[in-house]
Structure 1
């Protein structure tokens, strides 16, 4: 005889029976296998259908010192190898340089173009997601071990090796052109500065030359005026002396006439004539000046006539001839004439020889910028042996693990739902199975 009864609901417990859960999940191993297989299948499809992504890189190091020796020895532009490396790195990182390379090599970037996008928008996607630059540590920027690494991730179908290598060459060439332009500007500015100094030296020379000519002309004018004044004074003096002499002669003639002296005589001879002495030859020694009237009327009148008829007294003074000579010499200053006739006046500039030497050096400065080696390409980008994405084995293993975990979670979720239905549904049963936590086996009552 069978008895039927309603089993009271089992009160919920805070304890989790791990073994029971594991057993319940294991009973749904087919479900877990199906879910895991589905996930692995999806992961396999992704791993083999997704577009592979590759990575290439190139490494740049500072150039040798002798490569930049010609530029540094020019004394115009100094560029150490470490600074050249930083400049190339800045060019590689420059947005303008990258955009310029993108525009100049559009055939290499066909895979990055999308319908409805402008060239700049396609470049922005490439610049943001595909290329990466690793600059040297600032603390090691001056060391030989400093390097710059350029990396690029690209999908299959893109010639990443050509892009990286060509981009590095483009950036180096761009920096070399910029360096050549800077060098030309510096040389031109230096030449303009030297030209300004030479022009200043010429202006200073012209000023000194004009000042010297003016000084010489002024000195000659002053000397000429002084000589003319002296000549005028001498002539006036001589005229006065001549007039005074004529007055003296007039007075002496008057005395001589009164004494009856017609011929030159002496005081002693005049006394002998008055005494009527015979012919006697006398020698007279007298240290006193004989009065002028003793010359006699004839001599005095002859001298007065000559003085009266004289037109110039210049011949009577030797200084007048000397003054005339000096005035003749002052009519033309040979030094002034030579200064004015100078043709190549730059030869007479003082202190400009170093400036001319520097100008000549800068004009003859020849540095082949096209062969200037700014950096050393330590490692060129090479064709990768395998893609970096997707990692098929990792995806498959991850898919398998994820599928098993997902299947187990689904199985656990189903088991929890079944327990809740049995625990709170109040079902009449003929045979009730009770899970005993201590005995862990079902008990059936009939």
Structure 2
């Protein structure tokens, strides 16, 4: 039990002190007055009689050695049932002391449980504060990340628009060249007319590197592509990079970690210290002790009614009187003879 550690010597010493306590004996009388009513005289003060009886008639002998037994003794007259008083007083004191030890242990357990509950509440409040701080940190990090991704997304969209505008510019330039060359429909260098060997080589080199110049597509094709791009110039782009950014934004907007923590109905399963203290309280609550389980002392010899009174003993007194009377007579005769001898001696002188 917490805070209730007793050695055998400590328990025995405290029990002996209770046996030697007048207040303890007075409580015994109040609970069991019939046990010692034979010593009470109605015309005298009851408390004074009980006090006198206790201090004059009852004694407990301390042991000469630590492990030696202690003796509880009582001097009583014929009207008093001494053995019954002594045995009942011993049993009652033992029962009361056992209950005292049980009450101390129960209070110690209750105090330990209450301290653990206070610590559990403190851990729960600290955990809730940590959760609130963690959510704030996650939200702030998400806010910063969302702002960065939105900037990236806007930049990517602007890059797509710029690419489209650049394409329109290139198409316009090619369309002008095609118009100047009179190319209405898609054609090839050979279809433009008779060409020299050098020009064939040049077009062959251009074709081998990146294809024919755009103006060979012809005015009609170039104009059609340009008009379509211009019509869709401001439409939302859907590139792979844009899709990746939008996916990351959606994950941050719907942060499952924050959502899960916020939706928890009970935070205690996630607090290790809280659960350890709760387990300790369950173990402490199971520590139920009854007075019958406590063994404080054992009576080696119970008080019993002797065959005769220890005092006064008439036969012993008579025998001693005869012995001392005879001795006194012999001494007296010896003294008288001695005195007579002295007188006789003086007369002879």
Normalising by structure 2, report the TM-score.
Answer: 0.77
The answer for the alignment partner of 1:337 in structure 2 is 259
- For the Cα contact (< 8 Å) 1:314–1:320, is it kept in 2? no
Contact residue 202 and residue 349 of structure 1 kept, 8 A: yes
- Between the aligned partners of 1:309 and 1:168, the Cα distance in structure 2 is 111
Alpha-carbon RMSD: 3.7
Are 2:161 and 2:233, in contact at CA under 8 Å, matched by a contact in 1? no
Measured after TM superposition, the shift of residue 265 of structure 1 is 3.8
Shift of 1:215: 4.3
Partner deviation per Cα, 1:175-199 (whole Å, 9 max, x = no partner)? 0110111110121122223334444
Please state whether the residue corresponding to 2:75 is helix, strand or coil.
Answer: strand
1:164 aligns with 2:86: yes
Could you tell me how far 1:233 is from its partner in structure 2? 0.5
Query: Pick from 365, 370, 390: which aligns with 2:312?
Result: 390
Q: Secondary structure at the match of 1:307?
A: helix
**Alpha-carbon displacement from aligned partner over 1:251-292 (angstroms, at most 9, x marks no partner):** 333333333333334455445389xxxxxxxx9453455444
* Structure 2 CA distance for aligned equivalents of residues 440 and 232 of structure 1: 163
Q: Distance in 2 between matches of 1:322 and 1:236?
A: 16
CA gap of 1:181–1:158, structure 2 versus 1, over 3 A, is same
SS at match of 2:299: strand
Higher relative helix content: 2
Q: d(CA) in 2 for partners of 1:255 and 1:311?
A: 23
1:248-263 aligned within 5 A:
248-263=170-185
* Corresponding residue of 1:122: 49
Partner of 2:23: 96
Distance 2:219 2:25 in 1: 127
State how many pairs are aligned.
327
Residues 185 and 219, structure 2, Cα contact 8 Å, conserved in 1: yes
Q: What secondary structure is seen at the aligned counterpart in 1 of 2:149?
A: helix
Maintained 8 Å contact 1:112/1:126: no
1:134 aligns with 2:56: no
**1:134: how far off?**
0.9
Is contact 2:22-2:51 (8 Å) kept?
Answer: no
Give the deviation of 1:321 after TM superposition.
2.2
1:149 deviation in Å?
0.7
Question: What is the CA-CA distance between 1:376 and the residue it aligns to?
Answer: 1.0
Look up the match of 2:346. 438
Matched, 1:85 2:7: no
CA distance in 1, matches of 2:346, 2:108: 96
Higher RCO, Cα 8 Å, sep 6+: 1
Distance 1:389 1:220, change over 3 A: same
Q: Comparing 302-311 with 343-352, which one deviates more in the overlay?
A: 343-352
| Contact 2:187 2:218 (C-alpha < 8 Å) held by counterparts | yes
CA distance in 2, matches of 1:155, 1:126: 11
**What's the CA shift for 1:349?**
3.2
Secondary structure in structure 1 of the residue aligned to 2:347:
coil
How is 1:23-422 mapped onto 2 (pairs within 5 angstroms)? 77-107=4-34, 108-113=36-41, 115=43, 117=45, 119-137=46-64, 140-141=65-66, 143=67, 146-267=68-189, 269-270=191-192, 272=194, 284=204, 286=206, 287=208, 290-315=212-237, 317-350=239-272, 355-392=277-314
Cα displacement (A) at 1:352: 5.9
Report the Cα distance in structure 2 between the residues aligned to 1:374 and 1:288, rounded to whole angstroms: 108
Distance in 2 separating the partners of 1:316 and 1:88: 91
TM-superposition CA deviations, 1:200-226 (whole Å, max 9, x none): 444454445444444443443333222
Between stretches 92-101 and 221-230, larger displacement belongs to: 221-230
Bigger mean CA offset, 151-160 vs 226-235: 151-160
The two structures have a TM-score, normalised by structure 1, of 0.62
CA distance in 2, matches of 1:311, 1:158: 122
CA contact (8 A) 2:120 2:277 kept: yes
